[in-house]
Amino acid sequence: MTTTRTGPPSFGRILMVATGMLMLELTLVAVVLTAFEATREPRGYAFELSFLPLLTPFAALFGGAAALVLVVPTLVLAGSLGRRFAGGSEAWWWVVAAAVVIAAGGSLMAGLYVLRSVPAALAAWPALTAGIVPAALVARSFRRWLLRGIALWGTLAVVGTALLGGLALGTGVLEEYRPPAVTREGLVGTWTDGRGGTLELAADGTATADGLMDPPGFAPLPGEAVETCTARGTWTLAAAEGWGESVVTDFRECRFERWEIGGEEARVVLRQWDLDGEEMVALTRAG
């Protein structure tokens, strides 16, 4: 169905509505990813819903920029296509067609200059199209109180999605990740970092580090040698600082923190993290 309009919405209105829609979409994606990440082993600092208010200024900035370079050109192209091929028709499918074209260009630019991967650009194309279409369709609307409606219904959508995610995790529809259950006896043996460094945990509580990067994950400057540690000390199994368990080693010559126990039941991993929440080193059982 086509509609006839006396004139297009103002540029400022389009930009504000599109920014609001993109912020809503980003928030919904963050909520869904939070529920999904709860089913996987944490990789550093996990995103929490409590972070959303802190990220609102950045979401507004990103949403405004995306609205300017993606949504506005989509509406301009859709209007041009409608005038050229349908006698001025402003049917919604012209917006979809224009979004596909604009998303292709945006994905190609991101894939070549940011991601530096053509497969990544192809994967981003449909996702970018799906983000542009609803923002563009709503932004072209003449309805009054549109921004207020986006805020109201968007809030309800975010809260409802979060509740559904929590319900799915609570009822077991989505299985929340739990670190593997281990015993002290099950940790006895040799663990390797895959680069020649090993950590041997003995049954009597002694530990031997041989060639482990020290500090773990430290990136030396070009031309500098990688520092390693070879020493003898002790180890024990203790509760982790967050949840689960960890291995605490005590080497006077080494600068190791506690080793967090992760992975799966069939493949236990001992990990350490840096201050930014990035994995520094992962030890797996040798052999």
Condensed to tens digits (0 to 9), the pLDDT of residues 243-254 reads 568 899 999 888
Domain around 268: 184-285
Within the chain, which residues score under 70 in pLDDT? 1-8, 43-52, 87-89, 114-115, 215-226, 240-244, 274-279
Rg (CA), the chain: 26
Same domain, yes or no, for 25 and 127? Answer: yes
User: Does any domain span residue 176?
Assistant: no
Looking at residue 209, its pLDDT comes to 92
Same domain, yes or no, for 146 and 192? Answer: no
CB of 95 closer than 8 Å to CB of 139: no
User: Does any domain span residue 28?
Assistant: yes
Same domain, yes or no, for 154 and 192? Answer: no
Same domain, yes or no, for 78 and 216? Answer: no
Residue listed under structure tokens 């928030």? 27
Total of domains in the chain: 2
Looking at residue 8, its pLDDT comes to 61
Same domain, yes or no, for 220 and 133? Answer: no
Same domain, yes or no, for 150 and 51? Answer: yes
Same domain, yes or no, for 196 and 153? Answer: no
Looking at residue 216, its pLDDT comes to 60
User: Does any domain span residue 4?
Assistant: no
Strand partners, 283: 270
CB of 175 closer than 8 Å to CB of 39: yes
User: Does any domain span residue 75?
Assistant: yes
User: Does any domain span residue 6?
Assistant: no
Same domain, yes or no, for 135 and 233? Answer: no
Looking at residue 137, its pLDDT comes to 92
User: Does any domain span residue 243?
Assistant: yes
pLDDT tens across 148-173, in order?
A: 888 888 889 989 998 998 899 888 88
Looking at residue 4, its pLDDT comes to 46
- Name the amino acid, one letter, at 47: F
User: Does any domain span residue 5?
Assistant: no
Strand partners, 62: none
Same domain, yes or no, for 22 and 161? Answer: yes
CB atoms inside a 10 Å sphere around CB 218: 14
Same domain, yes or no, for 159 and 22? Answer: yes
User: Does any domain span residue 122?
Assistant: yes
Same domain, yes or no, for 110 and 199? Answer: no
